[in-house]
Amino acid sequence: GSSWKLEDHPKLPKGKTIAVVVLDGWGEANPDQYNCIHVAQTPTMDSLKKGAPERWRLVRAHGTAVGLPTEDDMGNSEVGHNALGAGRIYAQGYKCILPTVQLDTRTLQAFLVGLINFDKNSLLKTSAKLVDLALASGKIYEGEGFKYIKECFDKGTLHLIGLLSDGGVHSRLDQLQLLLKGSSENGAKRIRVHILTDGRDVLDGSSVGFVETLEKDLANLRENGIDAQIASGGGRMYVTMDRYENDWGVVKRGWDAQVLGEAPHKFRNALEAVKTLRQEHKTNDQYLPPFVIVDENGKAVGPIVDGDAVVTFNFRADRMVMIAKSLEYENFDKFDRVRVPKIRYAGMLQYDGELKLPSHYLVSPPEIERTSGEYLVHNGIRTFACSETVKFGHVTFFWNGNRSGYFNPSMEEYVEIPSDSGITFNVQPKMKALEIAEKARDAILSRKFDQIRVNLPNGDMVGHTGDIEATVVACKAADEAVKIILDAIEQVGGIYVVTADHGNAEDMVKRNKSGKPELDKSGNIQILTSHTLQPVPIAIGGPGLAAGVRYRKDVPDGGLANVAATVMNLHGFVAPSDYETTLIEVVDN
């Protein structure tokens, strides 16, 4: 049925104040010098761990447990917060899993569910998978979005803007390759690619190889009579891919290079650009300054002009919303666009369903409905959510199934603490952890809310910089923030749930199969800026937690999707039957 009413939990009371704390990028790994959580002083998290196995355990946060195609896929904040908030796994990827022999129970289950549901088309799929399916079937070229941009192919240029890597978090190189091929087969005669180099979801320095691969593909297209080239580029954290409106300057730098064809650096080809900027400017892939590719007369080869088509090929939403606004909105005051070309623009997906942004897209986004946040609001739970800008949408937008705004403004309050902008977070590794904790503490003590939900970004945001010393400071700051929140919960007799969305800070080095640091050609360790495959902790406790509550022993492979039902129980409700099972039981004593 479509009822929102949740059944009462047979044993657990209502009315407890619950803090749900998500430590971003906080996994569990063997202790060594590259495990910043181990190196840092984290007395609060250490003390929670002593509650194992009844009140502390690990949950899976990568691969199929969070709906990713394979067990080699590291976790990320989008799928992590989706799973935490929606309480279900976006079953997908069984096709990729099938040829690998190790079918554990969960994989087998996902596979069987996939088979059963496939024809009914009722499988919930993550955005990456929906793009894969649309490309593989060719349906992408029959859709409304592609037909819309195709109108420009006769006279205009097709511009493709996005993250160039195989990280699989925001985009994937193989999807870009298919899109290039498919677009040319479907009428695009002139193509310009505007690349954003990664080094954050993949190793720093890998951009060189990705550019080489792309250049080969473009050369093949040219042999087939398509005028295809890279037109501009820049590092993802400095050009275009800002999120949650932290720093419009980032998007402006992208606009200048991609649309206006203007940038401080000009090169004849992208490979030279990336290599030179890395060496001479000592910047890494994430922060390469913007550059444009110019012809022999010094003229930019691919500014965006009237009559062109533009596609942003990232599937993940958070870092595409701002560029989508700049490309789509007629009224726009975030920076001076100087020249606003009349283009046909489509996103790979629609990035924001509430804003209907962009209005044209190549693939329909996943529908994540009936999330725990929406259920709880219907059942009288007043919610407070808070983080700083760079993770604000994670505990709101992603948590609520990629939906912006409130379900019911009279029941919810979402507070964003402005992040520092224009810096890399190793410079300020404490970030706004203290401020977030204080806001949460005040919300708890006000007794105006039943659930207080926060994201503490430090482990992740500083971990992504690859700066080990700063990441240690970051972990300590996050731990101190947890302490403030737990103290407030203690005061009001509440309950806490402390967990994480995926690993990052607990492992900062690339390792070989036996777990030893893998050295590069010159014998150096390779810093791991990306997330990991590690499980994450979940701790429950607080004076309000009923004495008999403990982790069940029969959910050994529990993952982030099991957390929603657990939290619903602690609020005094039974989770909907299609939710992943709860992690807890109540024993009489």
Catalytic residues: 77
Applying CB under 5 A, which part among 54-62, 284-292, 406-414, 455-463 lies near Co ion?
Answer: 455-463
Cβ 386 vs Cβ 396: under 8 Å: no
How many residues of this chain interact with Co ion, rule: CB under 5 A?
1
Helices (H) and strands (E) in the chain, counts: 18, 17
The b-or-e profile of 500-526 (16+ CB within 10 A means b, else e) is: bbbbbbbbbbbbeeeeebeeeeeeeeb
- Sequence-distant (6+) residues with CB within 8 A of 224 are 184
Question: What are residue 436's phi and psi, to 5 degrees?
Answer: -65, -45
Beta carbon of residue 504, minimum distance to Co ion (angstroms, whole number): 6
Going through 383-507 in order, the beta strands assigned E by DSSP cover: 383-388, 412-417, 451-456, 495-500
Could you give the C-alpha distances from 43 to 401, 463, 481, in angstroms and in order? 33, 20, 11
Considering beta carbons, is residue 308 or 506 the nearer one to ligand 3PG? Answer: 506
Applying CB under 6 A, which part among 71-79, 189-197, 447-455, 475-483 lies near ligand 3PG?
Answer: 71-79
Contacted entry of Co ion, ligand 3PG, none for residue 374, CB cut-off 5 to 8 Å set by kind: none
Cβ 151 vs Cβ 346: under 8 Å: no
Considering beta carbons, is residue 238 or 449 the nearer one to Co ion? Answer: 238
Residue nearest to ligand 3PG (CB): 77
Beta carbon of residue 262, minimum distance to ligand 3PG (angstroms, whole number): 26
Binding mask 392-421 toward ligand 3PG (x if CB under 6 A, else -) reads ------------------------------
Considering beta carbons, is residue 26 or 361 the nearer one to Co ion? Answer: 26
> Bridge-partner residues for 21, per DSSP?
454, 498
Q: Is position 460 an interface residue for ligand 3PG (rule: CB under 6 A)? A: yes
List the one residue from 86, 89, 169, 221 that touches ligand 3PG (CB under 6 A): 169
Considering beta carbons, is residue 170 or 432 the nearer one to ligand 3PG? Answer: 170
Q: How far apart are CA 404 and CA 396, in angstroms?
A: 7
Q: How far apart are CA 406 and CA 496, in angstroms?
A: 23
Applying CB under 6 A, which part among 74-82, 110-118, 505-513, 570-578 lies near ligand 3PG?
Answer: 74-82
Considering beta carbons, is residue 170 or 571 the nearer one to ligand 3PG? Answer: 170
Beta carbon of residue 562, minimum distance to ligand 3PG (angstroms, whole number): 20
Residue 217 burial (CB count, 10 A): 16
Applying CB under 5 A, which part among 262-270, 375-383, 456-464, 578-586 lies near Co ion?
Answer: 456-464
Q: What tokens appear for 374 in the block?
A: 């929406």
Q: How far apart are CA 525 and CA 56, in angstroms?
A: 33
Contacted entry of ligand 3PG, Co ion, none for residue 169, CB cut-off 5 to 8 Å set by kind: ligand 3PG
Residue 370 burial (CB count, 10 A): 16
Beta carbon of residue 83, minimum distance to ligand 3PG (angstroms, whole number): 12
List the one residue from 17, 42, 44, 77 that touches ligand 3PG (CB under 6 A): 77
| Binding residues among 286-305 for ligand 3PG as defined by CB under 6 A | none
Beta carbon of residue 502, minimum distance to Co ion (angstroms, whole number): 7
Kindly report whether the peptide bond that precedes residue 43 is cis, defined as omega within 30 degrees of 0: no
Residue 54 burial (CB count, 10 A): 14
Quickly list DSSP for 483-542.
Answer: HHHHHHHHHHT-EEEEEESS--TT--B-B-TTSSBPB-TTS-B-B--S--S--EEEEEE-
Beta carbon of residue 79, minimum distance to ligand 3PG (angstroms, whole number): 8
Applying CB under 6 A, which part among 50-58, 72-80, 103-111, 260-268 lies near ligand 3PG?
Answer: 72-80
Considering beta carbons, is residue 16 or 81 the nearer one to ligand 3PG? Answer: 81
Cβ 10 vs Cβ 569: under 8 Å: no
List the one residue from 150, 319, 453, 550 that touches ligand 3PG (CB under 6 A): 319
How many residues of this chain interact with ligand 3PG, rule: CB under 6 A?
11
Q: What angle separates helix 468-492 from helix 433-446, to the nearest 10 degrees?
A: 10
Cα dihedral 256/261/265/267 (nearest 10): 150
Q: Is position 460 an interface residue for Co ion (rule: CB under 5 A)? A: yes
DSSP label at 259? I
DSSP label at 573? B
Applying CB under 6 A, which part among 70-78, 175-183, 321-329, 439-447 lies near ligand 3PG?
Answer: 70-78
Contacted entry of Co ion, ligand 3PG, none for residue 201, CB cut-off 5 to 8 Å set by kind: ligand 3PG
Find where tokens 């007799």 sit.
493
Binding mask 182-211 toward ligand 3PG (x if CB under 6 A, else -) reads ------------------xx----------
Question: What are residue 481's phi and psi, to 5 degrees?
Answer: -65, -40
Considering beta carbons, is residue 293 or 395 the nearer one to ligand 3PG? Answer: 395
Q: Is position 76 an interface residue for ligand 3PG (rule: CB under 6 A)? A: yes
Cβ 377 vs Cβ 412: under 8 Å: yes
Binding site for Co ion (CB under 5 A): 460
Binding site for ligand 3PG (CB under 6 A): 24, 76-78, 169-170, 200-201, 319, 460, 464
